Structure 1
């Protein structure tokens, strides 16, 4: 049982959430809107990988659009938006987090099939199958996220001046944790985190082993370095965003089900949980980095945009130079005419 004398002040989380969520909202909104625009309007050729990326960007954007409600709540400590908006916000939070994990895993598995089994995977790696996988991912994460929102609801408390306030995203009873939430955590950790983590690490390891074989050493060194950089960026972002939070969530669940009595551990977990949650939410900003390093078509699209912008700028500067040259010539001609007239 958790000792009743074990008290921890984690009020810093309100300021932390407000600041980090505001940054994630701005950066995530811009980057994911740009990514979706590139996927839909700019890319002429879409493959399996870009299908997964487009769905990942949509998942990120949906979550980012709910952040202003959370920012308001953590700033004011009151929820005036009602239970329906609250449940939608909770559902989209878990849908984004575990949807991101699944879609990143799909990208990793797709890369594994393309490099390790390029011929045998031709029938599997089709755009139609990629769309089917994306639909299955959406159904899975929504089905797993909706129940979590049913166990979270707003509750009433009195503010500092005695006014009634609604709280949410926190303060669930120990009985709710022991009866329902701990089981949900076990399920989502196994299905939504550990299995994808194993798949990501295994696929990346197999790709690295394949690239280091003597047969592949003679290939283009530049393309090989690009694949290695792609794998490194993918794994670093996946592990940085999701490993700390999911491990802390397990420890937090053990704490809330009164499995521990150690106050120092409880203090550490209560301190780490808000920090790791903010890191997990920041995946909305890091995912576009994966888009850039994973897809050659996206890099080419951005480079084309950059080249066209430079061409427009160069044309504009050339026009400016020619205009200045003409104006200078006219002024010189006028000066000469004026000098000739004054000497007559």
Structure 2
């Protein structure tokens, strides 16, 4: 996952040894070095290639299956709107993953300047759209539990589609810096796609910190607050004995946290690269980026296995299991909203 492996390798070395000059200046004249790939001789590199190929295969076909079922086989609901959008985000990510795999194998960028800017932007679009959608789903659960009457009357597919559109627009805006700062240049005899932050002071730090805050810290604080309040609200409610409405969402949030945390940690460490070991940062960024990519294939797996009891439904089809995983939440939330509305109605009658 070279697109998400940070800027240490492509910025720090150049700025230190070339005094901040644009790396593409090496294209002029004959290259001093002849590029030879060493990836296939490196155990870590080979392992990451195998992992990313598996992520591509599982994520591409798994998310395509989710899109097919939630988009064409299931009745359109608020819940299927959330999960369909999340699957589309992961599908796009996986569809462009081969570009990164080719770069890892060749240790060189061969797809030109436009794709150098376009492909990394799509990968960051996946990161932001995924976390924004998880926040939306968490807030949706919060509103359904805390304000059931309002949710019963206003929780519509049209509103859900509008909110999803806003989330995608915000994710696109947060992905723009990747397109702005990405450039193609030559280094050590090879063509590379790198982040050129040398023309804008503190731009590297601003981009890294903003991604960490907007794409990780703030969303998780919102998610944690929403779920904490929901748990407190429902701790004495019969619904707490039925964990179906929260199993899928909890698993999705946990998977996102585990997959993306190492990447963000090493990106922050990279800002002070002079005090950290070069090899540790390089390895950490590559492993962290691959873990982040794994999140895109985990989502459809969770849809399948987090529905009704897997052992009890082992003989049922994969399609049925996936449909149950997404439909269970809608049915249970609807029942809860109906009960809450009835209780509120009776209470108002007594008053």
Q: Which residue of structure 2 aligns with residue 273 of structure 1? A: 285
Select 1:99's aligned residue among 129, 135, 141: 129
Which range moves more in the overlay, 25-34 or 145-154? 145-154
Q: Which residue of structure 1 aligns with residue 191 of structure 2? A: 166
The change in CA–CA distance for 1:231 and 1:63 in structure 2 (over 3 A counts) is closer
Q: Which residue of structure 2 aligns with residue 262 of structure 1? A: 275
Q: Which residue of structure 2 aligns with residue 252 of structure 1? A: 270
Question: Is contact 2:138-2:227 (8 Å) kept?
Answer: yes
Select 2:138's aligned residue among 98, 103, 108: 108
2:203 matched to 1:180?
yes
SS at match of 1:227: helix
The change in CA–CA distance for 1:247 and 1:199 in structure 2 (over 3 A counts) is same
Q: How many residues align?
A: 281
The change in CA–CA distance for 1:137 and 1:262 in structure 2 (over 3 A counts) is same
Using the size of structure 2 for normalisation, the TM-score is: 0.70
Query: Gaps spanning 5+ residues in structure 2: where?
Result: 1-11, 17-38, 321-351
Q: Which residue of structure 1 aligns with residue 173 of structure 2? A: 143
Question: Is contact 1:50-1:295 (8 Å) kept?
Answer: no
1:47-86 map, 5 Å: 47-86=77-116
Shift of 1:283: 0.9
The change in CA–CA distance for 1:238 and 1:254 in structure 2 (over 3 A counts) is same
SS at match of 2:187: strand
Rounded to whole Å, the distance in 2 between the matches of 1:209 and 1:283 is: 29
Shift of 1:288: 1.4
1:288-307 map, 5 Å: 288-292=300-304, 305=317
Rounded to whole Å, the distance in 1 between the matches of 2:140 and 2:199 is: 39
Query: Gaps spanning 5+ residues in structure 1: where?
Result: 5-9, 160-164, 256-260, 309-344
Rounded to whole Å, the distance in 2 between the matches of 1:91 and 1:291 is: 27
1:174-323 map, 5 Å: 175=198, 179-213=202-236, 216-217=237-238, 219=239, 221=241, 224-255=242-273, 261-264=274-277, 267-292=279-304, 305=317
2:93 matched to 1:42?
no
The change in CA–CA distance for 1:73 and 1:270 in structure 2 (over 3 A counts) is closer
Shift of 1:235: 3.2
Rounded to whole Å, the distance in 1 between the matches of 2:288 and 2:171 is: 21
Shift of 1:158: 4.3
Rounded to whole Å, the distance in 2 between the matches of 1:153 and 1:62 is: 22
SS at match of 2:152: coil
Using the size of structure 1 for normalisation, the TM-score is: 0.72
- For the aligned residues, what is the CA RMSD? 3.2
Rounded to whole Å, the distance in 1 between the matches of 2:45 and 2:185 is: 17
Select 2:49's aligned residue among 18, 39, 48: 18
Question: Is contact 2:109-2:192 (8 Å) kept?
Answer: yes
Q: Deviations over 1:254-281 (max 9, x none)?
A: 32xxxxx4345x5543332211111111
Q: Deviations over 1:111-161 (max 9, x none)?
A: 2222333223234421111111111111111111122222111211344xx
